[in-house]
Amino acid sequence: MFKQRSVVMKSYLAVFLGKPEAMETWKKLPEAKRKEREQAGMAAWHKWVADHKDAITEMGTPLGKTKRADKNGITDTRNELGAWTVVKANSQDEAAKLFLNHPHFTIFPGDRVEVMECLPIPTIQ
């Protein structure tokens, strides 16, 4: 009799990115057109969530404005981060494939989704 080896799925952080210029273009759309695309985009996003519910471990959230804290203090800044979620998968390639044709960049003004493994925190010896 063979002993079945259990496969431990890894966690992957997916960050939704978009250039600020794309959002400015989005905001310039006629309100009716923008609302129509928002509704279509949210419907597609909810479908994506339903289709991948078994892989999603943290739904995540949209992200707001950014403050930078560094050795010089706190300042307002801007970056391309738009949202985040955490998924589980057997590999990084498998996790990345979950985001192919995602509404973030097929309907909304986002550019891409970047996927990285969530690594364990190193221990102190």
Coil, strand, or helix at residue 103? Answer: helix
Per-residue pLDDT 10s for the chain (125 aa) are 566 555 689 999 999 999 989 989 999 999 999 999 999 999 999 999 999 999 999 999 999 999 999 999 999 999 999 999 999 999 999 999 999 999 999 999 999 999 999 999 999 98
Which residues are bridge partners to 62 per DSSP?
A: 83
* Domains parsed from the chain with CATH numbers: 10-117 (3.30.70.1060)
- Quick check: helix, strand or coil at residue 47? helix
Three-class DSSP category at 62: strand
pTM for this structure?
0.86
Q: Which of 14, 16, 12, 13 is nearest to 80 (CA)?
A: 16
DSSP E strands in 20-78: the ranges are 56-58, 66-70, 73-77
Rounded (10°) CA dihedral 69, 120, 86, 76: 0
